[in-house]
Structure 1
């Protein structure tokens, strides 16, 4: 019988867990044994008793490593050296952002599968799309966090003390996180505008009922459904145009990311200086805002609150873990449809997420990076 292990997350501020009791029940139906590390779900409010009731066994981390064929994580564990050779590690490993991790896992003899490499253009991969499920959570929380930090009301309020105008909110980037941030901010009553360099995404913004901020210059989608990075001249023109538009807004939420690349700068120092005191800028993309830092909230000398929040989904651990666990179950079900592990390198979905196997990095994009480094 194949054993699937669930590890407690070791990354700082990470509250999610890779599998919830609901996911245990689903895996048990495949005839799989599930072994959960003691306390793996406690930060997401899933206790060991709940896992046991769903049919999982509870054990120490060393037992999970020793007895599991497949190990489930959200983010890479910090004790990779403890991973026994021959194990399969599944998580959001970000190998394009950290190619050295892929090499370390290969050297360890571990087969690594990274959900963040999943091609969004394949319809049958949608139930496994962890980036989408987690971005959806992050976009929702971004709007709430921005509303909490803003010193005024998001909706227009008419009271005996007078009328308060609604907040003007701009969301930069109309991927899953951006569209959810737009929708949530609109539910809170703000007047919302959205911007994305991709023409197709501008139609998505309009479909939510938000206004579309149109600036000169449009990019293209990548072939895998992700945004591509802009050329240097395009990026400079975009930054200048945004600097002129941003000061009109009370709240700006940025969500732009480029897989395997640096998040684009969208809010410059000039734009921050021109914003009204009391304005809020929330950087969900991690690097979209000049001077922002992860997990920090600062106020500029001009009175603008800047929030760095690249991992907001971890702050909504129940919803995020439940969605992620279902993504994992969908993937694991394709790897062991009859309860026995079988990785098919010819399968387009499995090949797309396979990072390393048999002591070697096998993902084409990662092998290109290796050649460039050498």
Structure 2
């Protein structure tokens, strides 16, 4: 089979779907690998690196589409790319079919099989192919790096001849893959970390990582339904009110808040309200990993960094995995090659 990696045309997207390393694994399976020239440049992979790995570098997207049996991308293909594809071809990408019904219909019209990496079930048997978790892991780690870059003090506490420095206090809202990665990074930097999740069963995981779980004094049902697919189910209204009240207690104490509550295909729940932001100290930082779906914070502006009137910095970037393009591409490339191999 001829497998080709197209260059990403989405503005700001630096990742590539196949790296020289993952191409090597695909070639060992007997496949031919092609890549559009410049596809890996923004992730740090030159055409020469692909050539050294035995990959054929093709001059244009049109030539690549004409030659390949299977096409790999990070973002969903554009309408123009799909119209160049022929019946019997396969395209693998983050397709998000529920949100791209017209694109899916076009693929069907063209006779193209669309494989959505975002639809891989988040179960143990599929971990090798779970690209959403791979990217969430990177986003959680990068969120802490962005927080440190915007925060005006140390993360770790220090006692020096020049004075005492208290540790930064960090609150991570949501302890899924991204949240746990953020907890691990913040703890390793020496911060005092608190974390909250609507699923009480994750408290043990949080505490095993050196963070403190935020408990609520609540007797009723926490959720409207059971958690499925690795995501938390929506909270009941009563639980939500208790949750927001607890966050209001914590807001004045926290230096950094990282929110991670996002379920693909849904608007992000509002968990950090404007009045909570107003309670925070000047210089505090909010990193909103749900910005692409409106944000968990009332004041988040997608793809922007803003400073509120009381001096709180709110970061709403939506490209955290792309900001670590080399690492993201390696992991995504491995997800793709495991999918093809299995």
1:84 aligned residue (83, 86, 101): 86
**8 Å CA contact 1:253, 1:282 repeated in 2:** yes
Shift of 1:233: 4.9
Shift of 1:237: 4.2
Residue equivalent to 1:133? 134
- 1-structure distance, mates of 2:236, 2:263: 13
Aligned length: 332
Residue equivalent to 1:107? 109
Inter-CA distance 221–160: structure 2 relative to 1 (3 Å threshold): farther
- 2-structure distance, mates of 1:294, 1:300: 15
**8 Å CA contact 2:91, 2:112 repeated in 1:** yes
Question: Which sections of structure 1, spanning at least 5 residues, go unmatched?
Answer: 335-374
Shift of 1:166: 0.6
Shift of 1:65: 0.8
* TM-score normalised per structure 1: 0.85
Matches within 5 A, 1:1-374: 2-59=1-58, 60-78=60-78, 79=80, 80-121=82-123, 123-216=124-217, 218-219=222-223, 221-286=226-291, 287-334=295-342
Shift of 1:91: 1.2
**Which of structures 1 and 2 has the larger relative contact order (alpha carbons within 8 angstroms, sep 6+)?**
1
Shift of 1:82: 2.9
**8 Å CA contact 2:198, 2:235 repeated in 1:** no
Higher mean C-alpha deviation, range 91-100 or range 157-166: 91-100
- 2-structure distance, mates of 1:11, 1:87: 22
**8 Å CA contact 2:216, 2:242 repeated in 1:** no
For residue 333 of structure 2, give the secondary structure of its aligned residue in structure 1.
helix
Inter-CA distance 8–238: structure 2 relative to 1 (3 Å threshold): same
Inter-CA distance 110–230: structure 2 relative to 1 (3 Å threshold): farther
- 1-structure distance, mates of 2:112, 2:151: 46
- 1-structure distance, mates of 2:209, 2:315: 25
The alignment's C-alpha RMSD in Å is 1.6
- 2-structure distance, mates of 1:105, 1:291: 38
Shift of 1:97: 3.5
* TM-score normalised per structure 2: 0.92
**8 Å CA contact 1:198, 1:221 repeated in 2:** no
Higher mean C-alpha deviation, range 204-213 or range 82-91: 82-91
